[in-house]
Amino acid sequence: MAVFVEVDHIDRVFKLPDGGEYIALKNIDLHIHKGEFVSLVGHSGCGKSTLLNILSGLDQPSAGGIVLEGRQVTEPGPDRMVVFQNYSLLPWLTVRQNIELAVDQVLQKHPKPVRRRLVDHHIELVGLQKAADKRPGQISGGMKQRVAIARALAIRPKLLLLDEPFGALDALTRGGLQEQLMQICQEHEVTCVMVTHDVDEALLLSDRIVLMTNGPEAHVGQIVEVPFPRPRERMEVVKHPNYYSLRNEIVYFLNQQKRAKQHKAKPVVAVAANGLEKVNLELGLIPLTDCAPLVVAKEKGLFEANGLSQVTLNREPSWNAIADGVTSGRLDAAMMVAGMPLGLTLGYGNQRPVPMVTALTLSRNGNAITVSRRLYDQGVRSLADLKAAIDRRPDQVHTLAAVHPTSMHNLLLRYWLASGGIDPDRDVSVTVIPPAQMVSNLKAGTIDGYCVGEPWNVRAVQEGVGVVMAIDHDIWPGHIEKVLGVTEAWANQYPKTHLALVKALLEACEYCDDPRNREEIIDLLARPEYVGADPGYLRQGFLGPYDRGDGRKPESILHYNQFFTDKANCPDVTEAVWIMTQMARWGITPFPRNWLEVAERIKRTDIFGQAARELGLLDIGRDRHPIQLFDGIPFNPDHPLDYLERLAIKRDLRIEEIPLDALKA
């Protein structure tokens, strides 16, 4: 279906008297189809009316734009009409005259008799024939609202905008007007966007309900599809088997936002130089090609430029050591596998939950699935071949390795196997091994393959012990890979230091994605205190063609390691929810009933946005759209449980409420 109204990554920033800024709306991305009725629901202050004003042209976005039928909206126009809660009628004009004023202004090219018939038709449409010659002071509130609706519809707008139009009316009047509005919109194929606080009203009238998060930086938190058939009768809607589950889902979302609003960091006082609370930091990294942003920030003086005078990079032996170092306080922060902040917050492996925060994605892509040369020579050259080999010899256990339970390596390896009909817990054995030990275990024959980052796939190929079966681009190109992770307690205690750290690493990410810098970066990574690998291993994929070791010509792969381009760095709630579905799928963590609250609490887009703005970089979030991997199964972030139900191979799902405020930060 063609898009009728496109809300294209809208931001709205208001200037404050003290020179500061208030970001009311952030990265609002929404497509509305012709004849659709969309409701905006959220707590007061979430920017619903601000968005409606931008749609009408009464206000302008600070970034992004509105496109209506292929044309950008830059000012008010007769193709859009707003119905306000306060009616906005001229008190000295009658009902008929209030409607005529709008019709005569907008449709003045039409003959006068045509305009009169149009006015009469809409007066009749809202049942006000007997009150047509009365002034607003002589009619009830419900009748005034009907006049406002008739006036809006009479000019034949392409888009009807309703700002809590029934909020001040009694229940009986409101119910009658809702019924009339539904009938009018359906008969005339009117496209509507309505702001409301009334959940039942939204369910009755809407095709979709857009749930907004709290301000500042309010954004689309969830979109609820309303499946009730049209035409609708109020009692039939209430009796629909999905009515109360949808109502509970919306109320649950609003309660999550209420809790999030109550959660505030404790105030802190800067005690160190440069206005930062702490300037000496211990950061953890793993010897992988995608530790490049940390190395660049250190070696190019970006930490110091942002006020962090003494930053020590600690090369850690494993991802477990990274997790232990950050949660124990030995490390201030670290590069982490994408799922680690989520897993630590949810208490993966039955560990004590530790609330975490990530305000920066450090890298995307960079992984591969490698199998032993022995297995390859036996004819296992594809996922289907591996499935056939397992079926031929069910008594022979194939052992594959990933680097951490919460890593994308583990989740993508399991997803890849399951898509080929291989149960990763029953048909094969998946074990955890630190990245630097992968090649030696493959040589020794203790594992048959693995999923890991570079340079450990390239090294296996170059040493003749492995063949790359698949890379990220074959499974999910552009996926999140490494993030900056800190505990929530640390982020609350050192907010200015945290911001400075994000800024330094964001600058480093930009530097890393400039091809002109990559030869220099390879030399830095090759140092023994960092990756300590032969530069030839580091170059493949990072700068030069990639050799899979299968006899084919090495291929040039765009963004095999991606650090900055294509909005790589902004924390993405959609990706976080997908990761949580996969961890729940394999029994690593329960799936949180309050999944959005968990994701929003961990993924700090506000900190990222402030860092980007202070650096003069574009503060643009990632697109909010379904994710689809190579097998074609779409993941809709608004319906993660439906997605989990569609997956054929999985463990028994645990769905639990995660009491974030009860967790010790």
- Stated as kind and residue range, the H or E segment containing 12 is strand 3-15
pLDDT for residue 168: 66
156, exposed or middle or buried, with CB in 10 Å at 0-12, 13-18, 19+?
A: middle
pLDDT for residue 271: 53
Beta strands, E only, 275-320? 280-285, 310-315
Tell me: the pLDDT tens digits for 520-557? 999 999 999 999 999 999 999 999 999 999 999 999 99
Beta strands at 480-487 and 356-357: parallel, antiparallel or unpaired: antiparallel
338, exposed or middle or buried, with CB in 10 Å at 0-12, 13-18, 19+?
A: buried
* Stretches in the chain below the pLDDT threshold 70: 1, 168, 264-274, 664-665
Task: Render 54-81 in DSSP notation, one character per residue.
Answer: HHHTSS--SEEEEEETTEE--S--TTEE
Q: Which domains does the chain have, with CATH numbers?
A: 3-262 (3.40.50.300), 273-365+479-572+593-626 (3.40.190.10), 367-473 (3.40.190.10)
pLDDT for residue 572: 95
Tokens describing residue 606: 């506000």
pLDDT for residue 401: 97
pLDDT for residue 145: 81
Beta carbons within 8 Å of 196's beta carbon, 6+ residues apart: 39, 40, 41, 164, 166, 167, 202
Own/partner contacts of 28-32, CB < 8 Å, gap of 24 or more, are: 28/64, 28/219, 28/220, 29/220, 29/623, 29/624, 29/625, 30/6, 30/210, 30/220, 31/3, 31/5, 31/6, 31/7, 32/3, 32/4, 32/5, 32/6, 32/7, 32/191, 32/193
Question: In 513-594, which residue ranges form alpha helices assigned H by DSSP?
Answer: 518-525, 535-539, 573-585
Tell me: the pLDDT tens digits for 224-268? 999 999 889 888 899 998 999 899 999 999 998 988 887 765 544
pLDDT for residue 665: 53
Beta strands, E only, 259-355? 280-285, 310-315, 333-337
The pTM is what? Answer: 0.89
Asked whether the beta carbons of 588 and 348 are under 8 A apart, the reply is yes
Beta carbons within 8 Å of 545's beta carbon, 6+ residues apart: 553, 554, 555, 556, 557
